[in-house]
Structure 1
Amino acid sequence: MQKRIAIRTVLVLSLLASAACAVDGSEIAAPVLKWQQCGCYSSWCETGWYSSPAVADLDSDGDMEIVASAYAVVALDGETGDLLWRAKSGHDRSEDPDSVDNVGRTWPGVVIADVDNDGAIEIVTAHGRGYVSVYNNEGYFEPGWPQHPVANEFRSLAVSDLDGDGNMEIACGLARGDDTNVWVFEHNGSIRQGWPRLADGDEGSAWGPYNDNIGAGDIDGDGLPELIVPSDTTTICAYKADGTHIGTNEMYHDHPGHDMDYWGEVPAYIDLEYETRGWGPCYTEFTARANFANGPANVVDVNCDGVNEIVVIGDVHDCHTSPYTDLYNTPYILNSDRSRFNADGFDWTTPPIEAGAPIIQDYAVIENAQPNPVTVDLNGDGRIEILYPSYDGRMHAFWLDKTEHGNWPYSVYCASEGFYRFATEPVVADLDNDGNAEVIFGSWVQKETERTGKLHILDYNGNVIHEMDLPPAKSGDWNGVLAAPTLADIDGDSDLELVLNTAHSGVVAYDLPGTAGARVLWGTGRGSYYRNGPSMINSAVSQKGDLDCDGSVTSADVLIALKIAVSGGYNSAADMDENGYVNVLDARTILQLAAEG
């Protein structure tokens, strides 16, 4: 007994010592404007949309470059912001940018990837009027590109090696009212066999994805990613690499008139009873149902048990009214068979409700909020939190207990200002490496206000650390940033910088002093330069006790186990003796594993 008490004391003191060290010197320095209006013309800037910039050493000289796109694609010097080259969208550097026009705007983030497995970086972009481009690192088209399969805008772009052959496939979602809404291209520009989808004769429903919605990740444990495609309907489609539809849980089968064998056939009602039978009483009474026109999908292991789930944000509406009345944005957590997540005491068979009504939905007044989900572990307990901006003017952060802790949700809209304001998708990093992450995002404002958005830095509990105005518009009557920022060291000083593709002041960069030791958890729009909605946590748990999912059991996992024990929570990966709860004995076992290995 005395030995047990001694071990418990050591563990608790270790936790307290860790907390004490985290407090010392953990003040977050204010961002410092580094440069602005980069990539602009002499008297005006192209309007920046929701496209997050990318950072890479394009020419392998040891210095970082920034690739961003509002309409044209630009490469900038990381240190100075100087323009290195510009190519109008749909064109490359072989054409004088002053002699051609852009084919359209750029909605999805710029992709940086070795698409053809040749060891060199490629740049992938998607634009209005149905253009998809792959450039080499110097801004010239790769063979087979660009492609122009349709006349409408591609708003979704994601890359992934779907078949494990070393080459990347490129998935694009079409913002058009049509059930054929997703194309998959091979690295050489050819359309992959089995695509586009939906195809004639396919079961299920789909419509236009009107945001950067496509997610990619392994949901069935075969080691290869699947594609998850939410769109402007109540269902979500899920596909294998060849376009084959992914099946559903038997709870959805054998319902007369509503046999829902595949993901794309299951309507997302709030009430699970309505969902499992395939219909709700929309014609007779209030009925809450979700639409996914603007709700991207992330594939992530939310509870660190080695099995990936799918997180997607639904726009819940009352389908009894005409037109439908939008009620709130809320997260769904789904299993690989489209059933709803319910594990480790976290029951998501009913998603969070009444999360916040829209304050405005008129893009003639203010550009629309896009509820891109960010799935990260904010507080180091080994479980994922779900953050997203919403049309209620707030940034939300849901824990797995389906509640928002601390000061969440955080409102960027303040009625007393006299104008509307919305938030971008955030990026997340533990800037001072104290074990708790900071949340960083921008905002934009109502049109015709001559006002600008802000840069916001919050702690993991939603408390403000810093807020400051972004630069004013170089051209236009409002400013801010619609796109997620990007975190990277762009000047080689070891500290992070924050890069923003603003609405009317070009590309802007801020220094983040004192962040050389930061841990980046979600560093750019849609989580990575593949833009496919991953978590930065490795979902392959190597053994029980690996609570931070990094592939090994370490002292960090001991501290997580203690946090779970102190809070009275539960995580099956921490329940070492499998007695149904987590206590200090489980933490001791994890400590022993850490010492052994």
Structure 2
Amino acid sequence: DLDGDGDCEILYGSSDGKVYVMDHLGQELSGWPQSSKADLQGRYGFVVSPSVGDIDGDGALEIVCGTLAGHLYAWELDGSVISGFPQYVGRSAKSVCAVVDIDDADDAAEIIVHGGKSELWAMKGNGTALSGYPLELGGDEDEFDSWIFASSPIVLDLELDGSLQIAVGSTSGEVYVFNTDGSVVDGWPVATGDWVYSTVTPVDLDGDYEPEIVVASADGKVHAWNAAGEVVAGFPVTLDAPVYGSVAAADMTGDGANELVVASSSGAVYMINKDGNFMSGWPTSPSATTFASPIIIDVNNDGALDVVLGAQNSALQAWSRNGELILSQVHEAGDWIDGTAVASDIDKDGLVELVFGAYDGKVYVIDLDTPATDANLAWPAFRGDRVRGADAVSTDSDQDELPDAFEMAQFNGLEQSGADDFDLDGVSNANEWIAGTNAASASDFFSVQLSYLPGEPSASRRVRLTWNGVAGRCYTSWQCGQLDEGEEWELADPESGTIDCESTGEMSHEFDVSADDCFFRISVTR
């Protein structure tokens, strides 16, 4: 919703060298479309979708998009070009931009784009590059339009510790993860066997709500690594043909584990479980060449998630989670469908609309009977973007201190925030996430048992604290003599300090205390 009228706008770039903005009724907004300039070879078209974000900190959303000629444009909502743009990012700009505030210097978002000289750019809203950028990605450059498109950068919180990283694939066949200052994260880059057109997908594969990094490569493989850059067991998975689109992810079966959905360039669609095995009923038979990425929604309002994908047979098709073609949801266009569809409630009637474009120069909007809930829109767009207003951090799109994976698993949606208390047990959702307890169950909360160990009465005594530890958490014991305001808590056992939990199960901590110390607590960190 760019203009604040309550309805969504549709933005798209076209091969005619224009970016269009229209309302949900298909009417162009005033000031649009806007055109790009050609390079010396006469190239001027857009092959990727525009992005939106507040790049100047004025509280309004701006629109950014790059061209085949390597020019990055930024416009105000009225279509006026923002001062400092266009900026040249080298040979081509064939990635979707990430528009996220990564420098903490102000309230404005930065623009991050993969340029055609195999460089990662990050720039301010006035077109100036951030210090240290562009970053070298070590790949082949986009000479003579050799790139179909570029792996689009994503911004994520890889360790879920509040710090942001940028992940992107390269024509070097590698996947990079950078800190926002441009330094490379330990364990990265990692190598695949071929160029990476695919955009990185962060997804929880092992049930700890922390992201693994998934990407497909042009040699027809799907790869997965943990945050340290170590290969996930069962991967890579080999498909029948190169992959140019990106991987979608959602819990397709309702068992609490995410599945991966990806299409090879042959048009075969695969569903892969967390162990790297094909799900029953998958892959589908090859149909027609596709460069699009699948989305995952409930397309027919039957309570189960489905896969939606367009291809060069001029059809947008849908398959059930069992791999069966849903004949009632085959939508024909007048030409190839190479872009990724998007599902959203664009007219605010409470129901989902399916939006896609085709090479016939048309944008199609299909009304569905599906309620527009987060559960029904599990992966509704390219990169899985759920945020309707602006680009977002991939692992926490609503920036509420709770990972999206945690919210979807525990609450079946993103409506809750970290400050809320969903199960009304007196512990906030954020604290339950940190402690590793079930935020949807009032009977599951972090508790500590205190025991005084037998011994002769003396000036000191020995106590034992016992609790259920959760893997990946750290526990620190504290003590004090009174609970008066201003009373300072001290480490109960300075020698042992913080205790790390390697595997979930009962934990205990024994230590000697002064007879005057009678209050104890344990703090938990991730």
Unaligned runs of 5+ in 1: 1-27, 91-102, 199-204, 249-262, 269-289, 316-327, 342-346, 359-368, 414-419, 446-452, 463-514, 553-597
Which structure 2 residues correspond to residues 314-353 of structure 1 after superposition, within 5 A? 314-315=264-265, 328-341=266-279, 347-348=280-281, 350-353=282-285
- Tell me, in whole angstroms, the C-alpha distance in 2 between the residues paired with 1:551 and 1:380: 24
**1:310 paired to 2:260:** yes
Q: 1:425-450 deviations in whole A, cap 9, x for unaligned?
A: 111112344554111111225xxxxx
Match of 1:424 in 2: 339
Q: 1:186-585 alignment to 2 at 5 Å?
A: 186-198=179-191, 206-209=193-196, 211-248=197-234, 263-264=235-236, 266-268=237-239, 290-315=240-265, 328-341=266-279, 347-348=280-281, 350-354=282-286, 356-358=287-289, 369-413=290-334, 421-445=336-360, 453-460=361-368, 525-528=382-385, 529=391, 539-540=405-406
Unmatched segments (≥5 aa) in structure 2: 1-22, 142-149, 386-390, 418-526
Question: Does the 8 A contact of 1:300 with 1:539 survive in 2?
Answer: no
> What letter is aligned with 2:93?
T
Q: Is the 8 A contact 1:183 1:196 kept in 2?
A: yes
Residue 51 of structure 2 is matched in structure 1 by: 54
Query: How far has the Cα of 1:461 moved from its partner?
Result: 7.9
Tell me which of 165, 168, 173 is aligned to 2:164: 168
Whole-angstrom CA distance in 2 between matches of 1:50 and 1:229: 21
CA separation of 1:191 and 1:547: change in aligned 2, threshold 3 A: closer
Distance in 2 between the 1:144 and 1:121 partners?
17
| Residue 2 (structure 2) pairs with residue 64 (structure 1) | no
Residues in 1 aligned to 2:392 and 2:123: alpha-carbon distance in whole angstroms: 15
Q: Offset at 1:551? A: 6.3
Deviates more, 1:142-151 or 1:429-438: 429-438
Distance in 2, matches of 1:162 and 1:137, equals 25
Higher strand share: 2
Separation in 2 of the partners of 1:167 and 1:74? 28
Q: Secondary structure at the match of 1:391?
A: coil
| Distance in 2 between residues matched to 1:521 and 1:541, nearest whole Å | 12
| CA drift at 1:109 | 0.6
SS in 2 for 1:526: helix
Larger Rg: 2
Q: CA deviation at 1:31?
A: 1.0
Task: Tell me the residue number matched to 1:32.
Answer: 27
Q: CA separation in 2, counterparts of 1:433 and 1:391?
A: 31
After TM superposition, give the deviation of residue 213 of structure 1 in Å: 3.3
1:25-74 Cα offsets, whole Å, 9 max, x none, are xxx97310224342534999963343221112223323221111112112
Q: How far, CA to CA, are the matches of 1:145 and 1:542 in structure 2? A: 35
Aligned twin of 2:128: 140
Give, in angstroms, the shift of residue 108 of structure 1: 1.7
User: Over residues 246-269 of structure 1, what are the superposed CA-to-partner deviations in whole Å (9 max), with x where a residue is unaligned?
Assistant: 112xxxxxxxxxxxxxx02x433x
Task: State the one-letter code of the partner of 1:333.
Answer: M
Q: Paired residue for 1:575?
A: none
Question: For residues 436 and 525 of structure 1, what CA distance do their matches in structure 2 show?
Answer: 20
Tell whether the 8 Å contact from 1:538 to 1:549 is kept in structure 2 after alignment.
yes
In structure 2, give the amino acid aligned to 1:33: E
Query: What is the alpha-carbon root mean square deviation over aligned residues?
Result: 3.6
Q: Is the 8 A contact 1:51 1:107 kept in 2?
A: yes
Identity of aligned residues (%): 23
Residue 330 of structure 1 aligns with an amino acid whose one-letter code is A
**Equivalent residues of 1:162, 1:241 under 8 A apart:** yes
Map of 1:588 onto structure 2: none
| Deviation, structure 1 residue 138 | 2.9
* 1:231 to partner: Cα distance: 0.6
Deviation at 1:379, TM superposition (A): 4.3
Larger RCO (CA under 8 A, 6+ residues apart): 1
* 1:338–1:64 distance in 2 versus 1, CA, 3 Å: same
1:150 to 2:138 alignment: yes
Task: Indicate yes or no: 2:78 matched with 1:79.
Answer: yes
Number of the residue aligned with 1:89: 88
**Greater helix proportion:** 1
Q: 1:195–1:132: structure 2 CA closer, same or farther, 3 Å change rule? A: same
CA positional deviation for 1:522: 6.5
Return the offset for 1:459.
2.5
2:82 & 2:408 partners in 1: Cα distance? 45
TM-score, normalised with respect to structure 2: 0.62
TM-score after normalising by structure 1: 0.55
Deviation at 1:174, TM superposition (A): 1.8
Q: Distance in 1 between matches of 2:153 and 2:339?
A: 18
Q: What CA distance in whole angstroms lies between the structure 1 residues aligned with 2:104 and 2:301?
A: 35
